[in-house]
Structure 1
């Protein structure tokens, strides 16, 4: 009898080994209305989802149903924001400064250099980076105090044509080089490493989010979000419900996309591909936490 049980166990193991893994991709799960808010940037804290409403010169805190919890007014076109714990870093395009909000109190990030329309900011522990839009450069600091500058206006690799967003990861600095229609990657000395997305004919690469395996880019004028692996190979294109996307961010397994003019957030989840649909998928394992 024990031989029969052993044979059955072996057959079950073989069957499980041969069973194909269910194909998954990012799928639209729901739409969150944010009436009266034209969200340019997003950051998530324990309080909820912070949105930079540049058209109305304010920050808006909403819950996961889109209900407004609080606002911070009297700003000057806040753009692609970031959060470090409960601290909010807010680049103000209109008055050329980066503000820091802690418990409702505002401070200004002190720089020895002048900004010209900061469009994006990123924090990574003590590190800070700023996308300096009209100066066509990135400012980067290891301690948030002393900054180096790299980049200039141009089309060559390492140059920028109006960078709008930036993200620091463990080893790299990723830049949404908006009107060069590409993503550029640098080391933390400002040395150019590689470019992503030039073969996709993007039209205004406005927002970027990088997790351990994927790079999400909002292709604003083409009404889509492109997903690459870190080598720059396209994995998936999101277009369902997407219209003038300007920002993308991932949190706790959910992917949030801001539809700028439609005053709504789209929420995508990583789940099985519906039967009959075909998506280009990453063959590597995914890590869906920032």
Structure 2
């Protein structure tokens, strides 16, 4: 299988438009560059999430950074279910800890076991395309299996990232709804307290107004029909020596009023 050229074709830009970014910065931020080895000639860059961050890896670096997700010999993807301990052997390299099938390890399964990448850390590569005499790159079956395994790892990683983002979004929505409810309840409490304060300030004014009205009103004579003695207050206008008039309240016994009425008869 022949591979297309991985060198991106530069897009022509108008001469009037200038860019302030340097070529090195553009290469660093480009998704066509592996963030581990820095290669720009890796044909395909896989997008994955590693340690909570979005990363871009070539096929070799992706497999190297996920050693426990596949068998380094047959490139079987484990997903979240690695083989049983009785059917696997763990690499003795503390930085690797990859799981290899016992049948894939062959004669090298005796401890301490080293997986193929750890045996030749300087020269080993999971994905190194074959370059023909004419410069055309191609891959064989083993390289296609490695590439397919890397694609599965990247897809599984992004699916987990999507699930985590969905759970986080749902949690934030619940928190926002709860905060909105609390804010509405707090606003209702403020309105209630404000109405109570207004009521408290109005009551004294009403009492003062009622007292002033009662002072301005003249008292009325009350006649008892059953002959009981009651006293009423009446107002009389008298003229003093200075000629001015003033009101004088007198207390008239009800019994005396009744006697005077009988005498007149």
Please confirm whether the aligned pair reaches a TM-score higher than 0.5, indicating the same fold.
no
TM-score by length of 2: 0.23
Larger Rg: 2
Is the strand fraction higher in 1 or 2? 1
Is the helix fraction higher in 1 or 2? 2
Higher RCO (CA < 8 A, seq sep 6+): 1
TM-score by length of 1: 0.21
